[in-house]
Structure 1
Amino acid sequence: MRLRALLATDALGLRLLGGEDELDRTVRGVMTTDLRDPSRYLSGGELVLTGLAWRRDAADSEPFVRILVQAGVAALAAGEAELGDVPEDLIVACARHRLPLFAVHESVAFATITEHVVRQVSGERAGDLAAVVDRHRRMMTSGPAGGGPDVVLDLLGSDLDLRAWVLSPTGRLVAGPKAAGPALAADVCARLAAEHLAATRTGRHGPHRVTLGATAYSLFPVRSSGHSPQAARDVRETVLSDWLLAVEADAGDWPEERLDLLHGVTQLIAVERDRREAARTVRRRLAQEVLELAQTGAAPAEIAARLRVAAPVLLPGLGAAPHWQVVVARVEWDGGDVEEGPAAQALLEEVLAAPLPGSASGGHDLAGPEPADRIAVAYTGGEAVALVPLPAVAAEHDGSESGVLADALLESIRGPLTAGLGDDGRITLGVSAAVHSAEGLRGALEEARHARRVAAARPGRVCAAGHQELASHVLLLPFVPDDVRRAFTARLLDPLRDYDRRHRAELIPTLEAFLDCDGSWTRCATRLHLHVNTLRYRVGRIEQLTGRDLSRLEDKLDFFLALRMS
């Protein structure tokens, strides 16, 4: 705003004492001071308010005004409450340095002037920024030149001193300001997402305000650009997949202009979300085709051909054929007419988009695009099925876990999503082992589905189970599908078969003989016509490749059942 506008506002009680030719100066802020030297607190463009307590005699006016001018302030306003009138020596000093000077009537509080200036300056800056946001949204709608939501988040910081972040419903950090400043901690992201989901489930309109520690946040929903709250049949259709904008401020007393600006920012972010949603179309179609082939019992060669098409899309530039993993999810609501399949699909895409602690598939050390661009998710009925590619490891198998881990998956999503499910929703997930070929994909699908059923048998709103929990004693139960049994066998014995094929090491025959001899080193070595040290080397290699311990009864039982079912 300009000084001329301040003088024209009668409620402020300002009277011009000098500097009529300088009234077009721009005011960028306001500061109240009675320090003799306030320069350390000035950055330029301020309207300085003073009660004149710094002035002891006429000689003090000249150095005080000189300090203000050197700091680049816009004007000085002196209160009349202390001395009755503004001293003539101050008027002369301001005229000498061409610093506009106002007198403030004793009936007007400095707080009134401060509030007016701050409100006007903030409103004008918000208006300018709103125009930038609108232009940016049009650029993003018409092409990629806009640069994504990070640019506007930076503008919020630089122009309105607002730090803001875009979060997924699981607390994943989607976008944030690039300017310097402490990053938003993962636990804070998760708690903000949980608060937002809980508030949304109660039907409260945003922004939702929450205080964590000493910091206040305002949470604005980010909905699809083609979606309005009135258009949704049921909030449960989108509550687990919509993003949110978290602003480090309490928006409770914001003027409408600023709230409208933040609404414009959420619309801009919605454009980016729709863009990412459209980019998933090809991946979804590939996953749907593979899922249908696996479910209908198609020949492995046909499934392999479809996987060869999917691999370059999900992991471009990959030299070797990837391994694959299957994750199955189901979202269930009590009552209501909620289409659960699409909701589970959107949720599973969000869940697998974040790098997971302890999860190789979620890390940034893999070749190819980010996790969000590597996952292909289809759905059938109320169940979502994710096809997760893992780069084939060139080194020999060492028995370590890779890919999506059920425990890490559960840990990353349980808190926020439990808040969004309320008392009437449930999410269950199952995770398969990695398979090395198309032949194992159907077994991996059944394995993930069976693991999900194991998770569904547990208490809790969000539950997950992995293939590790389908232990040998579970496989003896009559209701376990044959494909799950075969997947268990392949997972345990395939590393040994692969090693035998490459090195002719005869690990499988050695394992069979070792179990037949009840783990007796002497009898087994005699049967195989080997030296005991050679037998110990082979058994050590078996344990290294499978991650099992043949001195444990449980692991012996697993190997025994796997060999009998193979």
Structure 2
Amino acid sequence: MRLRSLLTMPELGLELVTGEDELDRFVRWVVVTDMLDPSRYLSGGELVVTGLYWHREPADSEIFVAAVARAGAAALATGDARYGGAPPDIVAACRRYRLPLFRVPENIAFAQVTERITRRLSTGRAADLTAVLDRHRQLVAGDGLGPVLDLIERDLGMRCWVLSTTGRLVAGRAEPPPGVTAAFLAADRLPRLIAGDEPLSLFAVDEHATSRAADWLLVFEGDHRYWPEERRALAAELAAVAALERARHDDRQHTSGRLAQELIQLIVSDAAPAEVRSRLELTGASTGERYLAVAADATPLRPGEVRMLVREILFGRDPAVGVVESEVIALVATHRADAVVHEIRTAVAALTAGLRGGRLSVGVSGVVDPDGVRGAVEEARYARRMAAARPEPACVVEHGELGTHMLLLASVPDEVRHMFRLRLLDPLTTYDQDNRADLVHTLESFLQVSGSWTKCAELLHVHVNTLRYRVQRIEELTGRDLSRLADRVDFFLALALR
């Protein structure tokens, strides 16, 4: 209840003596006192009503008003019974401390003031509770945050918005002023004030549990530094409601999200291509669609946060997103890679400031038909590893930047690539498992140094004779000759298909 509402209660007959500029303060209770220093019994937000029996001399007014103002009282109301009105020294003290002062007519009992205002406050609290319950009902019903923000603007005259860190407007009547997302991501601490003719206050939705880059933000009109406690509490409540709405849109709790995770797991495993195509159809994909794969990782973000960030970057494209170890992989139905890459690059550039010293690496494949999705995913993951090796804190590598052998492998049918890898590497993998050997790693190191015996032995920390024995064993198990360039190329490609 605001102070100005007291002037609309004719049964009280209150008159404002001073404090016209402070009538937007909230009153939460009424306290009647005639103690010279009642501050120990005040906790803030009270209307203090007094009969002035503490007043002996003008200096008492300074003591009393200073104590009431220091305790955070909303206003002071004095009765007429003793002096026929507030003495001038009390009025002057209230002006000095910017404490609104009301006059209580002599014919109005303090008990009547207390009873009527308390009743109005109780009614207001009941209405507030109803509004809170209604907001939660609207959320559960799927109406989203829009009605909540409308309620705040209607009741408080304060516009507010909810945004994602990519700049997407989650809720709000119109687009907010430009630059708020960048200011939020770059802020050293929150809440962040954007000063100007119309100041804006920026808050995080889930500041302590979610990384800045993966969070949502609240934008309020006004300078939060001068808000009363009730408005600060409102900002915290809205953040909690927005966090609930954000969690509601987390598809991991829905069937579609679980199907997407299973699809991504199948693609990166050795599942048969027919099984992958079948799972694609379960996710609602059309057999005539073409697809593009995206792989992403970020530190120090958790995989779940990276997953939500990827979904936000690709918002509107309904991607199938899954997590494999710490890497997030998304499959997007599209016929145009350039449009998707542009959206990703724009979002990643904007998010750089929110990484807070971390790194974000993204790889993007070319567009393929349903039979080529496994190759597209491998291409995206390889591109992501290339992005992670670059010095920029946020980097995107697309398929055109990859080595030609990866583009070649991605265009080969899944069945052929699977058979090629198994034929060359399966004998070595089986031998390593049965004998606790290290032939696959030896082969990879040998190719890495272009077949140099000395360099490879140093890299593996073994004697050259031990290395020669291992290479001989690799050749016996696979029927290949590592002195031949053609066989080395085959092994290099097989290792790239892992």
Conserved 8 A contact 1:209-1:216: no
Q: Calculate the aligned-residue CA RMSD, in Å.
A: 4.0
CA distance in 2, matches of 1:464, 1:249: 38
1:29 positional shift = 7.9
Q: Provide the residue aligned with 1:13 in structure 2.
A: 17
Conserved 8 A contact 1:428-1:455: yes
Conserved 8 A contact 1:311-1:389: no
1:419 positional shift = 2.2
Which amino acid is the alignment partner of residue 136 of structure 1?
A: D
Q: Secondary structure at the match of 1:378?
A: strand
Residue 432 of structure 1 pairs with residue 369 of structure 2: no
Q: Are residues 442 and 134 of structure 1, via their aligned partners in 2, closer, same or farther at CA, if it must alter by over 3 Å?
A: same
Which amino acid is the alignment partner of residue 311 of structure 1?
A: G
Q: Provide the residue aligned with 2:307 in structure 1.
A: 345
Q: Provide the residue aligned with 1:167 in structure 2.
A: 163
Q: Secondary structure at the match of 1:162?
A: coil
Which amino acid is the alignment partner of residue 144 of structure 1?
A: A
Q: Are residues 262 and 299 of structure 1, via their aligned partners in 2, closer, same or farther at CA, if it must alter by over 3 Å?
A: same
* 1:70-469 alignment runs, 5 A limit: 108=91, 116=100, 130-131=128-129, 133-140=131-138, 143-144=140-141, 147-177=143-173, 183-185=175-177, 187-195=178-186, 198-199=187-188, 204=189, 206=190, 208-211=191-194, 214-223=197-206, 229=208, 232=209, 238-278=211-251, 281-311=254-284, 321-333=288-300, 340-353=302-315, 370-371=316-317, 374-390=318-334, 401=337, 404-405=340-341, 407-415=342-350, 417-423=351-357, 425-437=358-370, 439-469=371-401
Q: Secondary structure at the match of 2:271?
A: coil
Which amino acid is the alignment partner of residue 410 of structure 2?
A: A
CA distance in 2, matches of 1:468, 1:125: 66
CA distance in 1, matches of 2:395, 2:292: 19
CA distance in 2, matches of 1:410, 1:116: 55
Identity of counterpart residues, as a percentage? 33
CA distance in 2, matches of 1:276, 1:106: 61
CA distance in 2, matches of 1:250, 1:139: 30
CA distance in 2, matches of 1:436, 1:269: 39
CA distance in 1, matches of 2:13, 2:235: 29
Q: Are residues 136 and 413 of structure 1, via their aligned partners in 2, closer, same or farther at CA, if it must alter by over 3 Å?
A: farther
1:154 positional shift = 1.4
Q: Secondary structure at the match of 2:239?
A: helix
Q: Are residues 238 and 421 of structure 1, via their aligned partners in 2, closer, same or farther at CA, if it must alter by over 3 Å?
A: closer
CA distance in 2, matches of 1:401, 1:115: 64
CA distance in 2, matches of 1:275, 1:380: 23
Q: Are residues 11 and 114 of structure 1, via their aligned partners in 2, closer, same or farther at CA, if it must alter by over 3 Å?
A: farther
Conserved 8 A contact 1:168-1:193: no
Q: Secondary structure at the match of 2:340?
A: coil
Gaps of 5+ in 1: 15-27, 31-102, 313-317, 354-369, 394-399, 491-566
Which amino acid is the alignment partner of residue 460 of structure 1?
A: E
CA distance in 2, matches of 1:329, 1:283: 20
Q: Provide the residue aligned with 2:485 in structure 1.
A: none
CA distance in 2, matches of 1:295, 1:29: 61
1:273 positional shift = 1.3
Structure having greater relative contact order (Cα 8 Å, sep ≥ 6): 1
Residue 3 of structure 1 pairs with residue 7 of structure 2: yes
1:487 positional shift = 2.5
CA distance in 2, matches of 1:427, 1:343: 12
TM-score, structure 1 as length reference: 0.50
CA distance in 2, matches of 1:488, 1:125: 70
Q: Secondary structure at the match of 2:321?
A: strand
Q: Provide the residue aligned with 1:487 in structure 2.
A: 410
Deviates more, 1:302-311 or 1:214-223: 214-223
Gaps of 5+ in 2: 26-84, 102-116, 414-498
Conserved 8 A contact 1:125-1:160: no
